[in-house]
Amino acid sequence: MSKSIMQNKEDRRCYVCEQLGERTKGALEEHHCFGGANRKLSEHYGLKIYLCIRHHREGKDAVHINKYTRLHIQEDAQRAFEEHYPDKDFRSIFGKNYL
């Protein structure tokens, strides 16, 4: 398993809570920024974040419920990829440009 290039798991903070200036409550769950056929690529390139349950799968702004939250995270993931892997072409690997 690859470490996240977007977030340090040891910080024990939800990626979305941190961006909103909120305090993280409860356990964190790992989220691959690109799912489906690209889930393995997310794992390989470290494009995963840690989310509280509310922002992962249960709240109105949860990444698995709210497409705007999901797209925002995918934009952040593409930026992280392009910064971390400047010699690789994101679109040719993931099949889409999210920016």
Residue-range domain boundaries for the chain:
9-94
What is the reported pTM? 0.90
Placement of tokens 């977007």 in the chain: 6
Q: Name the burial class of residue 70, with classes exposed (0-12), middle (13-18) and buried (19+) by CB atoms within 10 angstroms of its CB.
A: middle
Q: What is the pLDDT of residue 41?
A: 95
The pLDDT assigned to 1 comes to 55
pLDDT digits (tens, 9 = 90+) for 9-21: 777 899 999 998 8
What does the pLDDT average to over 92-98?
94
Give the pLDDT band of residue 23 (cuts 50, 70, 90).
Answer: confident
